[in-house]
């Protein structure tokens, strides 16, 4: 898996320079099975990875957290995660690249404080479309995903 992740990291770096002038925070890029039943990838809405030593191990239930606690979690040091689902890595290179670019739009919007989805992150709104098109991605409307 290491060579695949290194290639995705390299691609992220090139896309970041070309489409974002290097302004995106570098995420942790992962490859794991699709647990969402159909996603090609995702970008976490919080900094899922930390370089700090944990004080104590605890599980966080994001659904039970207050809006204020979620905002504080987003401000913590650490790294967002962009995941590319393992089942979809065999698609043509261009499609894997599109998935990475798609997730980079979410990362961009997170950094500037724009909410670009609803319905638990599945429906993409006009703000997603605007940011995507400003950064080189063509977006068509989908009845289910926005």
pLDDT band at 118 (very low <50, low <70, confident <90, very high): confident
What pLDDT shows up at residue 34?
86
Output the DSSP codes for 9-75. Answer: HHHHHHHHHHHHTT-SPPPEEEEE---SSS-SEEE-SS--B-SSPPSS-----GGGS-HHHHHHHHH
Q: What is the pTM of this model?
A: 0.81
CA dist 105 and 111 (Å) reads 10
pLDDT in tens, 26-72: 999 999 988 877 789 999 988 989 877 655 555 556 566 677 766 66
């Amino acid at each position: 898996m290491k060579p695949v992740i290194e290639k995705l990291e390299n691609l992220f770096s090139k896309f970041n320079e070309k489409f974002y002038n290097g302004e995106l925070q570098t995420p942790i890029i992962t490859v794991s099975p699709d647990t969402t039943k159909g996603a090609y990838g995702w970008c976490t809405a919080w900094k899922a990875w930390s370089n700090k030593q944990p004080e104590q191990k605890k599980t966080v239930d994001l659904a039970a957290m207050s809006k204020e606690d979620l905002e504080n979690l987003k401000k913590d040091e650490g790294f967002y995660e962009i995941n590319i689902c393992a089942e979809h890595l065999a698609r043509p290179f261009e499609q894997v690249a599109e998935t990475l670019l798609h997730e980079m739009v979410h990362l961009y919007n997170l950094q500037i404080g724009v909410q670009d989805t609803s319905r638990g992150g599945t429906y993409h709104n006009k703000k997603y479309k605007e940011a995507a098109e400003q950064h080189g991605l063509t977006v068509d409307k989908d009845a289910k995903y926005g």
